[in-house]
Structures are given as C-alpha cells and as structure tokens.
Chains A and B, each alone.
Chain A
Amino acid sequence: MPGYGEDPEWSDIVPLPQDDGGPNPLAAIAYSDEYSEAMSYLRAVMAKNEFSERVLRLTEDIIDMNPAHYTVWLYRAKALFTLHKDLRKEFDWLNPFALRHLKNYQIWHHRHTIIEALASDLDEKSPKIDNMIREEQDFLDRMFTKDAKNYHVWSYRQWLVERFNLWDCEEEREAVDDLLRKDVRNNSAWNHRYYVVFGRPNAPKNTTEGHVLMQREINYAEAAIRIAPQNQSPWNYIRGILSHFQQPLSNIKSLASEFASLEKPDEVKSSHALDLLAEIYKEERQLDCAGKAWDLLAQKYDPIRSRYWMWKKEQLGTAAA
C-alpha cells in the first residue's frame, strides 16, 4: 500500500509534522515512517475538523498500529456520528480487535459510546434492543474465557446492566455463576453479583422480600465458603450483605464458629472466620474474647497483619472507655 503522501486521495492535505518538544525531548519515540506519516495526516485533518470516509480509514490504520491512542478513538467516534454511519458495522472489526488486544481499555469506552448511540435510536421495547443485549452478553462471556478478571470488561458489563435495566435478567446471574463455578475465588465475579443483586435503584432493604433475598444470597456465599473457607471473597460478600440490611454480624455466628472457635484454638480453618468471630464478640460486648481472637490471628494464623490485629484489639479499650 502506498503511503498517504503518494495517495492522490490525500493530495489536498498538507501533513502536520510532529513537534516532539525541543532538541532533546523526554522519551521521544523513534516512530516507523508509516506511523509518523499517518499521525501527520491525522493532525492535519483534526486541525480542520474533517470528518469523512477517508478519516475513518485513517483512524483505523492508526489504531491498528497503536491501539492505546485515546485521541484517535475519540476522533473516530465523532466521525462515525457525523457521517451517520451504520454503527452495527463497527463491531465487525471491533470484536476481533478486542479479543486480540485484551489489555486495551480505550476500546471499551468506544463500545460504550457506540452501544449507547444505537440504543438511543431504538424504542426501549424494541426486540432489536434485546438482540443487541444478548450479543453483548455473549461477547463479554467470550472475553471472560480469556481473562476472567479484566477490570474494564467488568466495568462495561456493569454499565450494560444499569443502562438496560438487566437487574432481573437471568443471564447476568448465570454468567456470574458460571465463572464462580470455574473459580470460586474470582472476586470480580463476586463484585458483579453484588452489583446485580443489591446495586439496583431502590434495592429492597428491610422488607419481607428483602429478607428472602438476603437469606438466598447468604446461603449462596455459605456454600462457597464450605468448599474453600480461606477464600476471602464470600466472607466479604456476606459482610457486605449484612451491612446493606443493617443486620448484626451475630446473624452468622454459627457459620463463623464452624471455621474458628476460641475453644479449639489449634483447629482454626479460616482467618476470615476468626476475624468475624472477634467482631461478633465485640458486638456482644465480650471484649476479652474479641481480644483473644485477634491475638490468635496476630500470633498464629495471620502474622503478616499482626499490627493491624493489635490495632483492632487496642481499639477495644477505646470502645470500653
């Protein structure tokens, strides 16, 4: 392919060469001629605010050489909108691109922008919306088979839930279930579950419905704890739930006691259970027992955090005073 300089289609453009900043700039890059030339044409078209078919091709070319170039992504989105392009076609190259560049995050903002624009042109009840959501969910599931903890993909998935009201969508909880069945320690999946169940606007609190939900989720986390009690994710999940419903931690004292007990200090199975037990003792004003549990963590079960456990014990004195 000839360069832009030899291409008659671009003959009207005077390229704008890069100013790296002085004779000895910091961390300048020895660009390839192709990249350098493409960027000079981009600067020139941006300076005159041109949005055209050739600009779309130019942005694609640059993104291909440098997918982390946020300016090019944003300019491309503007061009797509200005030219009223069929946005669904954007996914034809975007999807394989995302699967090739797993760590790239500009792509997820771009996707968000495109889906938002597509959706705002459709009636909320249109079956086309349902189709689009299903395609998105399928694509995200594919992404998660490659990297199940990708922060930007999970953030995008949360936006999708909120934007399209997927709070009661079975696929959302199933997708999380699937990932947790594969790896019960996937904290991103736990976070998403929490969001889907409790993050909705007006999530039920202290109603009968709320309590049914609370019990269902506690049971879910309990089952996860039983297969790996030292996994912190489900413990955090349960504590989050109780706090959401403003319930005392003593609700789950029997669960904590299953994995940690002061009577059997040599048989503790989970440091998270032992900390929870200490918090429950504190709630019950059994401060001596709480202190003993934290001592046990500091000295035996979790010594890297000994100062933190000692701090918690010290703070009991402040609470008593």
Chain B
Amino acid sequence: MGSPGESASPTTRERILASARELFAQDGYNRATVRAIGRRSGITDAAIYHHFRGKRALYDAVLEERPVPPRGPEDEGASRQALLAMIISAMEAWARQPGLTALMFHQGIAGDGQTVEANVVAREEIIAMVEPCLQGGGSALAAEALAYVVSGMVTDAILRIGAAYPELALGADGLRHVAEAIDHILPAQALPAQQSAAG
C-alpha cells in the first residue's frame, strides 16, 4: 500500500511506458529509438535499460497494457440496442488509446507475430461478445461478419486519418453505419419498423 503521494504521481516505469507508447504510435516501431523515448520521458537511457531490456521489451510492455473491451451479456438473445451498445463500448475501449490501436494495425501488417496474435484475440473477443445475441441458424457466420464490419470500420478510419481515427469510426456517421450493419445482419424478424416502410 503506497502513500497517497506515491499513487498520485506516476512511477518511472509508467513514465517510460507512456513515452514509449506515444513515440511508437507517432513514428512506428522501426523508426522509434530507445534514445528518443528517453529524451521524451526525461529519463536516462541507463535508467530505461534498468527497467526494460530494450526496444522490443518496451513494445511488448506497451502491447500488454492495451485496452480490453468489456465482456458480453450473461443472458442470450439480448436486444438489438444491447448489441449496438456492446459494440460501441468495445470501440470506445480501443479509442481510449487511439495511437496504440493504429500502431497495432500497422505492426500487424508488418508481420509482427505478437501483434498479429493480439489482433486475432481482439477479433475473437468481438465474436464471443456478439454471438450470444445472434440466435438461430448461421449465428456463427453472422457474428464473424459483424466482427469483420467492426474491424473494417476501425481499419478504414485508421488508414484515412491515423490516430485521429475515432473521429470517423465513433463519429455520428460511424455510429449510424454500425447500427445499419447490425440491421442487415440480424434476422429479418428482428428488424425495426423501417423494414415494413421499405416493402
């Protein structure tokens, strides 16, 4: 149990990690250097190497602290609204560290094994979260399709505007597009009133 003073100010390790996260996000893994992370955090290289073995260890620690979306509902067959709210809360969780989310995309494309694995886990989390809401035949395929829509929206926004991506993916249009996709994927009988208006 630390004193109040200790818990209020970040530890050296936390300060190093915060700078590493910012610099990796800004310059990418390859361009970032331990020296530049030191300059940014105002901590000597020697002190950084005391906490981390090198650039790779820093990156792994940053990856370790990625935001984790909330879990899905306990009860099966939640409503369309609950499904939408869950997906948005997952997207909001990633958006709390937008630079890291963008970095993980680019490092994944660069073929970094650990990052790819983390991204696979993120997609599987979305599938596990939405599948209980999609009852009936073909629900596994529907859940996978919805997970691809969500990952595609985030990817599309990252590729357009980088770390500012939540402006697009979680903007008014973005949220409307998630709701549309849910309407398309849910079985016809679960659709709201607009379906009868179109017919």
Check if A and B associate: no
